Amino acid sequence: MSAHDGLDNDCIFCKIIRCEIPSFKIFEDDSVFSFMDINPVAPGHSLVIPKFHTPNIFEAPDIWAAATVNGIQRLARAVKETLNPDGINILQANGPGAAQSVFHLHMHVVPRWADDDVKMNWGISPGDMDAIGKLAKQISKNVN
């Protein structure tokens, strides 16, 4: 894996990797680049992106998906050490239906506090166990 192989000329995140657009960098290595989100949900909201342009998790080569997850673990540990939040959400969106706004694989670290009023959690309500079981079997047939 090389830092600037496979980057897209028009992608805002690829431009951040190439330092063509300024960012508040947290860390980078040969595989990933981490920086602060400039539209934060909470203080410490930050991202990790692979140094390879891939639009989403579906199209990401395994090596780049793994590197991104390793980077998010490093970032989450640093955010936890720095801010000592009550919890952390790790978020990753794919496609417009999931509100993906930049089509370059990226993962968010969002520090959370018990009464922060951030609206991204959902309530717990039991589902239909038969329907869940049937869907699990259908999904398992498509695992590669």
Return per-residue pLDDT of the chain as tens, 144 residues: 444 568 999 999 999 999 999 999 999 999 999 999 999 999 999 999 999 999 999 999 999 999 999 999 999 999 999 999 999 999 999 999 999 999 999 999 999 999 998 887 777 788 888 988 898 889 989 988
Q: Which listed residue (45, 53, 106, 108) is catalytic?
A: 106
Q: How many residues comprise the chain?
A: 144
Taking the C-alpha atoms of residue 21 and residue 15, their distance in angstroms, rounded to an integer, is 6
Domain boundaries, the chain: 12-140
Q: What are the distances in angstroms from CA 105 to CA 16, 48, 132?
A: 13, 9, 29
108 assigned to active site: no
Taking the C-alpha atoms of residue 18 and residue 7, their distance in angstroms, rounded to an integer, is 9
Superfamily of segment(s) 12-140: HIT-like (3.30.428.10)
